Structure 1
Amino acid sequence: MFDTVCTIPLSSELFTQAIHPEEPIVSVGLASGHVYTYRLPAGASEDDDPDETLASENGFGHLDTAWKTRRHKGSCRTLCFGVDGAQLYSAGTDGIVKAADVATGNVTAKIAIPLDPATGSLDHSSLIHALSPQSLLLATDSSALHVYDLRDLGPKASPKPQQTYHPHDDYISSLTPLPASSASTSGFSKQWVSTGGTTLAVTDLRRGVMARSEDQEEELLCSTVVTGLPAKGTSVGEKVLVGGATGVITLWERGVWDDQDERIVVDRTPGGGESLDAITLVPDGVGPGGKVAAVGLGNGALRFVRIGQNRVIAELRHDEFQNESVVGLGFDVTGRMISGGGKMIKVWHEKLQGEQEDEGDDTAASAKRDHESDSDEDSEEEAEESSEDEKEQKKRKKRKRSKGKQKGNGILGFSGLD
């Protein structure tokens, strides 16, 4: 279904990745506090010469490190791009959210995350999401969900949240916007589904928490929404897919939030399935067709599930040797899949018909370029170690991860890799 284009080694353990909404750009946040932004080769267009675009479609071309920096003291916990792709938002264990210009990496604004009211200590971020050009959502380990007005950001201002909600009793593990209704004038979502601990909740931008599920008796870790399903009876043709800690995807009918509607067993490992730590939909026109979800597992596997038939149709491996959890998974604007976990990210392209694998002809990157780093307050040479407390925070979502010896794949025909 997909072949590896390249493996990008990372200097520290990956905590989070974000994929640009309009350009072939991916950013990663590491346990060392570093943020790296890579620009992938451009995809082919209908007007391109086939001979000139074949290299790009097969993954050959230039992969550039656009910029790199040690953005946060401690770990970089979460990243997201703004809806127009001009800004990259990051949050770390230093209690600060930073907005940066995507082209240069320069910081343009900062937000001080409110302290945990129960302890008076730093409240570490768990997720950040740009809901619209005006609204930024920030979730924390204390179960707080802060809503910020992006129009209040500036180089010297540190705005307070407009609203703070508590949809769960535990930290928020995933956040998925619900598609805007036909009556929406802006076209941007104003409601979202979140998972935290063993519950699912729906929150409205202005009305707050609107629904909360029954206790599902297993940890819910990731989510995405699928539209365009058959509308039958009370079904509106939209469902939220939620990956759990025991290898099962639960399907939730939009508007019926008290309990799950269907279940898909993705992993049947004896004694309890592997955790499902990342989930995304395969874009239309990519892959086998139909509604297909790509799922990243706690043991480094990638599995593809056809919705409707509700069965696994294919499997790949992000990590074949160390069995590190897949913590990031998505598709860029060219249809390439990007998976992240451990100390590497992988870029995949759709396998072409009749394409032959040539394992003996892999070539290393022919050139490396160093880029000036925006060090913020800290230099690039500072130690790249996360605290024991931070390691424990990360293990919560990867309880089933096993350890082993890692062996990364080579770079296939890319140059300029930093």
Structure 2
Amino acid sequence: MFENLCTLPLSAELFTQVLHPTEPLLGVGLSSGHVQCFRLPAADRSSDDDDDSNADVLSDGKGTIDTVWRTRRHKGSCRTLAFSNDGSALYSAGTDYLLKHFSPVTGQVASKIAIPSTRSIPDSPSLLHVLSPQTLLLACDSGALHLLDLRDGALAKSKPQQTHFPHDDFVSSITPLPPSAESTSGYSKQWISTGGTTLAVTDLRRGVLVRSDDQEDELLCAAFIPGMGPKKSRGSGIVAVGTGTGILTLWDKGAWDDQQDRVVVDPVKGGGESLDCIVQVPEDIARGKKVAIGMGDGSLRIVDLVKREVEGTLRHDDIEAVVGIGFDCQGRMISGGGQTIKIWEQAPSLAQDDSESDSDSEADDSDDDDDDDDKVARKNGTKRQTSRNSDNDSDSDEEGSKRKKKRRKGKAPVDLGPHGAHGVLRFNGLD
């Protein structure tokens, strides 16, 4: 299981989050149109390192979360973000119908284009995914999936190389399939997508290959889990798909007509909370095939796919849904939803805790009180940073925030008391 290190408050509702592939960088896109990049501290940072008073302090007191830059990237909401494969570029798309390419280090915009439209009115983006160094996938609310070839200068023109319609509703997830053994580039040319009540497989060269049967349940998120399924050969695996009624469906690779198995994540009669986002837990942390799932009720569930059961439950928020979840390059779990980001670290194993408690019992019992005080101090060790803005786009305030999912309704604010929803101390004047 995981323990919460700190809670990072945001200035507006979170729409999307993305993690750098090799650096401890976190990018967030907000309903206000702002895009913000944070640098997370190194996990092995020394306690002798200098502290920045204008930073969000991690709960161990040894590191800070620094704002690298912050800017209002879009006049409407920032719907989606994506890093390039090597992390050298960051892309965003918003409800101002613009797609922008900029530096993740400085936030400086390199290029931008108008989002292609397949109908008489502009089409809002729903998802971005970088398939390879040459191919950027852009999904829209109309169900259109545009393929932009970056070698052709696609970010300087609005005409995509290809456009497909794998679903009748907006695309809710894109999951690349591993490249075949014959691949010379090492990059995927096929991907799984979900939208509405169907799952589809699309090929970069041949278009939509197959669409599943109607699942009679909204499919919201997906993750490819290698090394599972009936054939455990190279490239084998299953696709775990989260639904709107709290059921995790499992699909064997190559059998895309219908689901092969299911796990009840939220067992509520008549349908549980929605499974809004999913990520595989790194195997060196999980010691097996497990996924972390963000729920519509603000909870996080860890599911063991081998045992087909929920292993544990965590709480991100008491009100808002979890809209983003991932693992950074140092193995920490990052969850986001509402106006908060939470950072989680793997908790010590029960065996390790038992051995430590046995050795401590032989020592002076007075040390327990000091340890408890240290834990409380660490749990409450979060404060807000004064952001350093780099407003490169000179965008004006025009459009209010907009919910990405049509089925989700707004909820009235609730007074959670002086310690917030999860016991994290909040300071007056800091949001």
Q: Tell me the CA shift for residue 232 of structure 1.
A: 4.3
Confirm or deny: 8 A CA contact 2:6 2:58 kept in the other structure.
no
Residues 1:177 and 1:154: Cα distance change in structure 2 (over 3 Å): closer
- 1:325 to 2:321 alignment: yes
Number of positions where the alignment pairs a residue of Structure 1 with one of Structure 2: 396
Q: How does 1:252-401 map to 2 (within 5 A)?
A: 252-287=251-286, 289-319=287-317, 321=318, 323-352=319-348, 353-354=352-353, 358-359=375-376, 362-365=379-382, 368-378=385-395, 382=397, 385-386=400-401, 390-391=402-403, 394-396=404-406, 398=408
Residues 1:51 and 1:400: Cα distance change in structure 2 (over 3 Å): same
Find the aligned partners of 1:90 and 1:203 in 2 and give their Cα distance: 23
In the TM superposition, what whole-angstrom CA distance separates every residue of 1:135-175 from its partner, at most 9, and x where no partner exists? Answer: 000000000000001123388x2242000000011110111
Residues 1:361 and 1:107: Cα distance change in structure 2 (over 3 Å): closer
Equivalent residue number for residue 22 of structure 1: 22
Unaligned runs of 5+ in 2: 50-56, 357-370
Q: How does 1:1-400 map to 2 (within 5 A)?
A: 1-44=1-44, 58=60, 60-117=62-119, 120-153=120-153, 157-229=156-228, 231-232=230-231, 237-287=236-286, 289-319=287-317, 321=318, 323-352=319-348, 353-354=352-353, 358-359=375-376, 362-365=379-382, 368-378=385-395, 382=397, 385-386=400-401, 390-391=402-403, 394-396=404-406, 398=408
In the TM superposition, what whole-angstrom CA distance separates every residue of 1:242-280 from its partner, at most 9, and x where no partner exists? Answer: 000000010011111000000000001233110000000
Find the aligned partners of 1:339 and 1:233 in 2 and give their Cα distance: 31
Find the aligned partners of 2:387 and 2:283 in 1 and give their Cα distance: 37
Q: Could you tell me which amino acid in structure 2 is paired with residue 85 of structure 1?
A: G
Q: Could you tell me which amino acid in structure 2 is paired with residue 91 of structure 1?
A: A
Confirm or deny: 8 A CA contact 1:6 1:409 kept in the other structure.
no
Equivalent residue number for residue 52 of structure 2: none
Q: Could you tell me which amino acid in structure 2 is paired with residue 346 of structure 1?
A: K
Residues 1:107 and 1:209: Cα distance change in structure 2 (over 3 Å): same
Task: Work out which of the two has the higher radius of gyration on C-alpha atoms and give 1 or 2.
Answer: 2
Q: Tell me the CA shift for residue 369 of structure 1.
A: 3.9
Confirm or deny: 8 A CA contact 1:325 1:401 kept in the other structure.
no
Confirm or deny: 8 A CA contact 1:300 1:317 kept in the other structure.
yes
Q: Which moved more, 1:26-35 or 1:363-372?
A: 363-372
Residues 1:305 and 1:366: Cα distance change in structure 2 (over 3 Å): closer
Residues 1:57 and 1:232: Cα distance change in structure 2 (over 3 Å): farther
Find the aligned partners of 1:11 and 1:195 in 2 and give their Cα distance: 30
Q: Tell me the CA shift for residue 373 of structure 1.
A: 1.9
Find the aligned partners of 1:251 and 1:35 in 2 and give their Cα distance: 34
Find the aligned partners of 1:337 and 1:283 in 2 and give their Cα distance: 10
SS at match of 1:396: coil
Find the aligned partners of 1:245 and 1:314 in 2 and give their Cα distance: 20
Confirm or deny: 8 A CA contact 2:229 2:253 kept in the other structure.
no
Q: Could you tell me which amino acid in structure 2 is paired with residue 128 of structure 1?
A: L
Q: Tell me the CA shift for residue 363 of structure 1.
A: 4.6
Residues 1:234 and 1:151: Cα distance change in structure 2 (over 3 Å): closer
Find the aligned partners of 2:200 and 2:86 in 1 and give their Cα distance: 27
Confirm or deny: 8 A CA contact 1:43 1:56 kept in the other structure.
no
Confirm or deny: 8 A CA contact 1:277 1:397 kept in the other structure.
no
Unaligned runs of 5+ in 1: none
In the TM superposition, what whole-angstrom CA distance separates every residue of 1:100-144 from its partner, at most 9, and x where no partner exists? Answer: 101000011112111241xx1110000000000000000000000
Q: Tell me the CA shift for residue 231 of structure 1.
A: 4.1
Residues 1:226 and 1:234: Cα distance change in structure 2 (over 3 Å): closer
Q: Tell me the CA shift for residue 370 of structure 1.
A: 3.5
Residues 1:368 and 1:273: Cα distance change in structure 2 (over 3 Å): closer
When the two structures are superposed, what TM-score results if normalisation uses the length of structure 1? Answer: 0.87
Find the aligned partners of 1:176 and 1:97 in 2 and give their Cα distance: 21
Find the aligned partners of 1:145 and 1:337 in 2 and give their Cα distance: 29
Find the aligned partners of 2:347 and 2:232 in 1 and give their Cα distance: 38
Confirm or deny: 8 A CA contact 2:2 2:344 kept in the other structure.
yes
Confirm or deny: 8 A CA contact 2:8 2:340 kept in the other structure.
yes
Equivalent residue number for residue 363 of structure 2: none
Find the aligned partners of 1:84 and 1:154 in 2 and give their Cα distance: 19
Confirm or deny: 8 A CA contact 1:152 1:159 kept in the other structure.
no
Confirm or deny: 8 A CA contact 1:33 1:70 kept in the other structure.
yes
Find the aligned partners of 1:214 and 1:367 in 2 and give their Cα distance: 48
Confirm or deny: 8 A CA contact 1:147 1:164 kept in the other structure.
yes
SS at match of 1:286: helix
Residues 1:71 and 1:261: Cα distance change in structure 2 (over 3 Å): same
Equivalent residue number for residue 366 of structure 2: none
Confirm or deny: 8 A CA contact 2:69 2:387 kept in the other structure.
no
Find the aligned partners of 1:397 and 1:66 in 2 and give their Cα distance: 34
Q: Percent identical across equivalent pairs?
A: 53
Superposition CA RMSD, Å? 2.8
Confirm or deny: 8 A CA contact 2:75 2:399 kept in the other structure.
no
Q: Could you tell me which amino acid in structure 2 is paired with residue 385 of structure 1?
A: G
Q: Tell me the CA shift for residue 236 of structure 1.
A: 6.9
Residues 1:32 and 1:366: Cα distance change in structure 2 (over 3 Å): closer
Q: Could you tell me which amino acid in structure 1 is paired with residue 114 of structure 2?
A: A
Find the aligned partners of 1:235 and 1:174 in 2 and give their Cα distance: 24
Q: Tell me the CA shift for residue 404 of structure 1.
A: 4.1
In the TM superposition, what whole-angstrom CA distance separates every residue of 1:293-349 from its partner, at most 9, and x where no partner exists? Answer: 000100001000001111001010000x3x211000000000000000001111111
Q: Could you tell me which amino acid in structure 2 is paired with residue 297 of structure 1?
A: M
Confirm or deny: 8 A CA contact 2:220 2:242 kept in the other structure.
yes
Q: Tell me the CA shift for residue 362 of structure 1.
A: 4.2
